[in-house]
Amino acid sequence: MTAPQGRTPPPAAPVDRTGAVAKVVRVVEAITEHSGVSEISRSTGLSTSTVHRIIQELVALGWVRGDGEHGYLPGVGLLTIAARADFEAGMPVIEPILKGLRDATTHTVHFALRQGDLAVYVAKIEGLRAYEMRSRIGLAIPLHSTGIGKALLAGLPEAEVRAVLERSGMPPMTPRTITDPDAMIQHLHTVSRRGYAIDDEENEEHTRCIAAVVRDHRGAAIGGISMSAMAFEIDQERAQQLAPLVMTAARNVSQALGHRISGELPVAPRAR
């Protein structure tokens, strides 16, 4: 919007770089390069007590993770914001990948990003079948009972996985839900080894999903791609046919978000 002719717009107000918000921003920026309070203090010019107070507030909000002994790193909150920004920027490339997976399988495709101890659907491509999935963009889903959630958990360090499982309580969503942390850890080893997760009616009865992890430019597990169908449509043999297609889609989305991947992933024939 331009100012009326003959009238000069007022100058922008100067930014107070000593204010509380500016200090938080400086600390957040420094955390991406430095891990310790002393290093962050030197980098920002703020006192160690100020840095420590700000970091503790950021840790409580989930924006920063770690402790004073081992240093600090960007937390789920910051990574989620970055992932959403990457997703929006990459959507012109990502959407055709999701539609391609839907066309190859005829089933509904979801893309979800991690948000704390949950994952949130940010894209959904409806399947070509006569029925529709009840899922919707913006819906938050558990990590322990969904294909995307388990694919994501399999990409995290075990200590972080156990912390997530403890906080969530692993409630049974169906009689098939894994509710024991040790059993889940063993299950995730299988997921990691084969490269994909299956939600075998664990989140909703009569629904089966195949999912693979999505990583960002740092290599961090930030979400996943899933293909969902009625359980009777995907038996073990069919799952093995479809899984490489899901893994390829997740791999391509990861690359669209800047993740560098070495090696080739075998791709199954188009399986409609």
| pLDDT tens per residue, range 110-137 | 999 998 888 989 899 999 988 888 898 8
Give yes or no: residues 104 and 214 share one domain.
Answer: yes
pLDDT, tens digit (0-9, with 9 covering 90-100), for 208-229? 999 999 998 889 999 999 999 9
Are the beta carbons of 195 and 147 closer than 8 angstroms?
no
Based on the structure, what is the number of domains in the chain? 2
pLDDT for the residue numbered 19: 78
Are the beta carbons of 52 and 186 closer than 8 angstroms?
no
The DSSP code for 64 is E
Strands (E), the chain: 64-67, 71-74, 108-115, 118-125, 140-142, 197-200, 207-215, 221-230
Q: Which residue among 9, 41, 74 closes a domain?
A: 74
**pLDDT greater than 80 at residue 272:** no
- Residues spanned by the domain of 29: 20-74
Pairing of strands 197-200, 108-115: unpaired
| Residue bearing the bigger pLDDT, 25 or 101 | 101
Give yes or no: residues 57 and 159 share one domain.
Answer: no
